[in-house]
Structure formats: C-alpha cells, structure tokens
C-alpha cells in the first residue's frame, strides 16, 4: 500500500476551509476552522428557524429530532453503544461541572489531578478543595507509563481514600497522551471514580479508549470541526444510577400542559440536563460536522495533522536554543516549544508578525503551542521555519544541537 506523505500533498479537502489570505492558522487546539459544507448548513438552520417562525411550536419536534440525529451520529463516531449515555452541553466547562458534582464523592474524600489541566477543570476542583476535599497534583509529564506509575503511587500513598481522579486524556499544553484504559483499570482497582477531560482528544486521536473512564468529556469545536458551542459528557451506562448532578430544569423545550403539582410533575427523564431554551442550530450542525468527517476515510484528518506536527518537531530538534515540550513519538498534532533567551510573550509577538496563529502556554511550561488540523498545508511549516530563522539567524537553522 502506498504511504501518503501528508506533509507534501495538498489535501483534497483544503478548499473546504476558509482561505485566511496568508495567515497560518495553527490553533485548532482552541477552535477549528469550520469547513464550508458544515458552515453552510449551520447558517441555513438559523435562517430557516427565523423564516419559519422561531417560536412556532410546530417546528420544535423537527429541531429535536435533528438534535437526536447529532446524538446518534456522535455515539456512532465514538463507538458508544448507548446514545442515552451522551449529554450534550454548550461547553466543556459545563460538562466537567456536571460530571464532577454528579458523583457526590464522600465528604473529605481526596481528589487527584495533574499539573497540566485546563482552568475549566481546575476551577471546579478548587471548589472541591474549598469544601474539604484534599487535592493532590501529580506531574502529567509526557503521559504514558511514567504517568501511570506516578498515579499508582499517589493512589497508594494518599492519606485519605481517593474519591476521584480527574485528568486530561490529551494534555492541552503539550499534546502528551495517557493510556486511558490502564488509568481506568488503576482507578477502578482503588475504587476511585475517573473523569477524563477529552477536550483535546476528540478528533485529534482515537478517543474510544477513554470510554473506559466513569465519565468522559469531549467537544466538537476543535478537531471535531463543528461550530463553537458543541460539547458533550459521556457517563458510563453502569454508573448512571449513581450519578446525580444537583441541577434541575425542564428539558422538553415546549409544554402544552404545565404539571399540576410538584410531586413528580416536572420532567426528570434522561435528558434532564439539557434544559432551557437552547440554540438548536448549534447542536444540529454538529451532526453535519460528523457527516463531513465521515465523508473521508477514518483517521484521515488525524494522520494529516499528526504528520505535519511530527515534521515540525523533527525540524525543531535540529535547531539550537529550542526547548521542545512535545515528544517526537507522540502521535498528536500539538507542538509546544520555547526559544532560549526570549520569553513566551516575546516569542508569541514574533510569531504574530509572521501571521502564525497560535496559543501561549503559561506555567509550568512557559511556551507557545502550535496545533495543526485538516486546514493546514506544508507551507505552514515553511512559515514557522522562516519565523524562527528571522529570530535565531539562518546560520543556526538546520544545525544539529
């Protein structure tokens, strides 16, 4: 079988993405550019909603069915057998809160997390800490077996029983990856609930191993290629009976009859967390993003982005004065690095001048992060090289350290 060099070919799908007129978009780890077939459907939903009469009760059933289509496609894409275990949310932050507070871990039980978590996870964990749960923070490092060893030690040595382990499946700082199934088995052994933040995993790497966790959070707006406002929480079906988030809302969207009493009248069915007046077109368009992905062979986009990242990492290790935080052998599309002698803000300002869209990573790394996606071509690598040549002088470019 011919091996496709994803860094050389101009991908067939490239014209589906907006042309940024010379700007190199290397920030899929924050938000993806949405391919035009998906964007057209998304805008058409809004337009249709308005044209048909936005609040016309006749249309609600249609919107609901379309959202169920998103749920079913998402379950299929993830390899989830029961779509009922998927709760759609508007952000990963919402989903993390629902997961964490739904477990109602025992008073005083400890929580383990890592030093590479997103503020969206750190904030609810801070609340747990403030309400009497000791938190221990272990190094995420490069993930893999070393992370597993550190986690095992932390679980064994915790002075109080560990109620929950909450960590990223893929680090947003470096693209490092943990062995989700091994981590889940370990947590199970110690009787701790495992929550995986898969915000960076979905569409960047196969996320299915993450389903071994008690709860898994994912989103559609990064490598999922869906419009902003799409995320979800998966709770393992056997855990659902013991998961009770302290939130209540009417989730049917439109009611012809209000309940006559408070005795079980308000809906408490399986979608009870998808309540309130929602932006239906947003969730509907996720279905189109999933269909767009499915129109290309499985893992095509993952391999393309990963190959570009790998090519950049290989180029960076050949340069002097570069600290590369993302491992060469990690198959993600994330490259984080720093340049000796300048801080991450200066490096960021410099990349901006070269029209390279990126993200700054603060403590503990103090780096910049470049994240590749399907909308990138090899010319992005040339542009990064040009930016670094201008910074370091061409004479250092290409030299072995």
Ligand X SMILES: Cc1ncc(COP(=O)(O)O)c(C=O)c1O
Residue 118: CB minimum distance to ligand X, A: 3
The whole-angstrom distance between residue 134's C-alpha and the CA centroid of its chain comes to: 26
User: Near ligand X by CB under 6 A, which window of 11-19, 197-205, 317-325, 366-374?
Assistant: 197-205
Alpha helices by DSSP H, listed for 295-378, are 300-317, 344-353
Residue placing its CB nearer to ligand X in the complex, 375 or 392 = 375
Please name the helix (run of DSSP H) or strand (run of DSSP E) that holds residue 188, with its range, or none.
helix 180-189
Residue placing its CB nearer to ligand X in the complex, 42 or 202 = 202
Q: By CB under 6 A, tell whether 91 contacts ligand X.
A: yes
Q: By CB under 6 A, tell whether 219 contacts ligand X.
A: yes
- Which residue(s) pair with 86 in the sheet? 234
Q: By CB under 6 A, tell whether 88 contacts ligand X.
A: no
Q: By CB under 6 A, tell whether 120 contacts ligand X.
A: yes
Residue 216: CB minimum distance to ligand X, A: 12
Residue placing its CB nearer to ligand X in the complex, 163 or 175 = 175
Place of tokens 């049917």: 252
Site for ligand X in 156-175 (CB under 6 A): 168, 172
How far is the C-alpha of 191 from the C-alpha of 103, rounded, in Å? 13
Residue 100: CB minimum distance to ligand X, A: 12
Residue placing its CB nearer to ligand X in the complex, 11 or 227 = 227
Q: At what angle do helices 379-392 and 300-317 cross, to 10 degrees?
A: 20
User: To the nearest 5 percent, what fractions of the chain are helix, strand and coil?
Assistant: 40, 15, 45
Residue 200: CB minimum distance to ligand X, A: 5
Residue placing its CB nearer to ligand X in the complex, 67 or 232 = 232
**Out of 118, 239, 303, 366, the residue judged to bind ligand X by CB under 6 A:** 118
Residue 173: CB minimum distance to ligand X, A: 9
What are the distances in angstroms from CA 139 to CA 119, 128, 157? 16, 20, 15
How far is the C-alpha of 316 from the C-alpha of 370, rounded, in Å? 12
Residue 80: CB minimum distance to ligand X, A: 20
Token duo for residue 391? 């910074």
What are the distances in angstroms from CA 20 to CA 14, 47, 221? 12, 25, 18
Residue 254: CB minimum distance to ligand X, A: 27
Q: By CB under 6 A, tell whether 93 contacts ligand X.
A: yes
Residue placing its CB nearer to ligand X in the complex, 85 or 371 = 371
Q: Is 32 helix (H, G, I), strand (E, B) or coil?
A: coil
How far is the C-alpha of 39 from the C-alpha of 288, rounded, in Å? 9
Please name the helix (run of DSSP H) or strand (run of DSSP E) that holds residue 323, with its range, or none.
strand 322-324
Residue placing its CB nearer to ligand X in the complex, 298 or 362 = 362
Residues that bind ligand X (CB under 6 A): 30, 91-93, 118, 120-121, 168, 172, 197, 199-200, 219, 231
């Amino acid at each position: 079988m011919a091996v496709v060099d994803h860094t050389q070919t101009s991908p067939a799908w490239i014209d589906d993405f907006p042309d940024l007129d010379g700007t190199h978009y290397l920030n899929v780890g924050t938000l993806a550019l949405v391919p035009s077939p998906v964007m057209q459907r998304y805008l058409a939903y809004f337009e249709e909603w308005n044209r048909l009469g936005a609040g016309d009760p006749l249309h609600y059933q249609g919107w609901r069915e379309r959202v169920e289509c998103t749920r079913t496609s998402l379950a299929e894409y993830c390899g989830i057998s029961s779509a009922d275990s998927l709760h759609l949310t508007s952000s990963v932050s919402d989903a993390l809160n629902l997961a964490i507070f739904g477990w109602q871990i025992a008073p005083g039980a400890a929580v383990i997390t890592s030093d590479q978590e997103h503020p969206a996870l750190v904030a609810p964990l801070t609340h747990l800490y403030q309400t009497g749960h000791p938190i221990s923070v272990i190094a995420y490092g490069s993930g893999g077996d070393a992370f597993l060893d550190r986690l095992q030690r932390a679980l064994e040595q915790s002075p109080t029983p560990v109620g929950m382990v909450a960590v990223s499946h893929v680090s947003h700082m470096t693209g490092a990856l943990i062995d989700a199934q091994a981590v889940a088995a370990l947590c199970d052994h110690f009787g701790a609930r495992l929550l995986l933040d898969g915000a960076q995993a979905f569409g960047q790497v196969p996320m299915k191993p993450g389903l071994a966790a008690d709860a898994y959070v994912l989103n559609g707006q990064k490598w999922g290629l869906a419009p902003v406002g799409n995320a979800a929480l998966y709770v393992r079906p056997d855990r659902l009976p013991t998961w009770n988030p302290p939130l209540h809302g009417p989730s049917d969207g439109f009611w012809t009859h209000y309940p006559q009493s408070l005795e079980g009248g308000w809906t408490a069915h399986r979608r009870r967390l998808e309540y309130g007046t929602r932006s239906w077109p947003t969730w509907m368009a996720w279905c189109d993003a999933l269909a767009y992905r499915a129109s290309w062979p499985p893992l095509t986009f993952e391999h393309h982005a990963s190959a570009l990242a790998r090519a950049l990492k290989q180029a960076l290790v050949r340069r002097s004065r570069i600290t590369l935080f993302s491992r060469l052998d990690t198959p993600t599309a994330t490259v984080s690095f720093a340049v000796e002698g300048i801080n991450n803000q200066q490096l960021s300002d410099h990349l901006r001048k070269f029209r390279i869209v990126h993200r700054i990573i603060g403590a503990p790394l103090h780096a910049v992060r470049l994240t590749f996606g399907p909308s990138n071509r090899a010319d992005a690598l040339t542009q990064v090289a040009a930016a670094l040549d201008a910074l370091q002088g061409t004479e250092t470019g290409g030299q072995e350290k």
